[in-house]
Amino acid sequence: MKSRVQGIRAGLASAAAAAMTMVWALPALADEMRVGQPTPGAIGLQPGVTPLKHDATFFHNVILLPIITVITLFVLVLLVWVMVRYNKKANPTPAKWSHNTAIEVAWTIVPVLILMFIAIFSFRLLYAYNDMPKPYMTIKATGYQWYWGYEYPDNGISEFVSNILPEDKAKAQKVPYLLATTEPLVVPVGKPVRVQVTGADVIHAFAVPAFGIISDAVPGRLNETWFTIEKAGVYYGNCRELCGSEHAYMPIEVRAVSQAEFDAWVATKGGYKVGAAPAPAAPAPVTAAAPAAAPAPAAAPAAAPAPSATPAPASAPASN
């Protein structure tokens, strides 16, 4: 019996060591993962290229994962210990007691302390997501069934459509099918970008894992998120809300380029640099209207009719 218990303890210790090794190896695995797109067989989160994603990765890998690993192993050890130590054969006469004040206080206080510790980092991360710096530019992303529309109001670029790139063209261009698009979203490196997200028909969700962002695209509502990309590259995402039969074919492609390349791209779209909107055309001068001609004087009233002549009275007859 003693050797059996020792064997179980050794097995649990090995499992715990392997689990902790995997936990602490996640940062190293992340270095080997593809940046901006999924990596087959990868473990962990995609490598980040924004401050928000770095904070989220730290919260997951350094705070949450070790805590949940320790809790899981602790519960596993307790379960195995109870099965071995207190089964019917090893413990034919069970204990009569059903309460233990010290244990009950401990399993109340310890979880509260753990949750308070997690909350410190969780609230900081939530605040960072909502603490948007002054954006360099704003992009409006509208979800349709089943494509995205992008508009650059600060650059004078009206909405253009971004569809999934057909499989034959993706193979010809050597880009990942189901991720590449016909019209990528182009943004400058190192500048805070605000993305306003809405939907035109059903609920969609705008998400790019390398940026650590996701925002629901709800018809009739305007949500927003933000990111600042640290290095140039191509980063992929997709719709993260089940939106119909073609939901899987609604990718997002973001190209992060230098400021000069971004300005050149804006010019090809017929837009202008941020803050360089053309001045509105001056209104045409109003020509003063010539004064109206004075009305002609009224005609003189017609002459009064001449009085009719009074007939002279007949002369009196001459006297004889």
**In 3-state terms, what secondary structure has residue 89?**
coil
The total number of residues written for the chain in this structure: 320
Instruction: Look at residue 28 in the predicted model and tell me its pLDDT.
Output: 47
48 and 35 in contact (C-beta within 8 Å)? no
Using CA atoms, how far apart are residues 170 and 41, in angstroms rounded to an integer? 22
Name 165's Cβ contacts closer than 8 Å, sequence gap at least 6. 173, 175, 177, 180, 181, 182
Q: Is the pTM of this model over 0.85?
A: no
Phi, psi of 290 (to 5 degrees): -65, 140
> Which comes out higher in pLDDT, residue 5 or 46?
46
For the segment 17-44, what is each residue's pLDDT rounded down to a tens digit? 555 555 555 554 545 678 899 999 888 8
Q: Is the pLDDT of residue 154 over 70?
A: yes
Alpha helices in the chain (DSSP H): 2-32, 51-58, 65-85, 101-130, 167-173, 259-268
% of the chain beyond a pLDDT of 90 = 66
Q: Coil, helix or strand for 307?
A: coil
Distance of CA 115 to the CA centre of its chain: 28
Candidates 41, 72, 35; CA nearest to 57 is: 35
Q: What is the pLDDT of residue 283?
A: 66
Q: Which residues pair with 194 in a beta bridge?
A: 138, 226
3-state SS, residue 68: helix
Say which residues have a Cβ less than 8 Å from residue 270's Cβ, sequence separation at least 6: 156, 157
12-16, 179-183, 209-213, 314-318 — which is least confidently predicted?
Answer: 314-318
pLDDT digits (tens, 9 = 90+) for 58-98: 999 999 999 999 999 999 999 999 999 888 888 888 888 88
Question: What does the angle CA 26 – CA 29 – CA 34 come to, to the nearest 5 degrees?
Answer: 130
Query: What domains can you pick out in the chain, each with its CATH number?
Result: 51-90+102-130 (no CATH), 137-269 (2.60.40.420)
Choose between 43 and 166: higher pLDDT.
Answer: 166
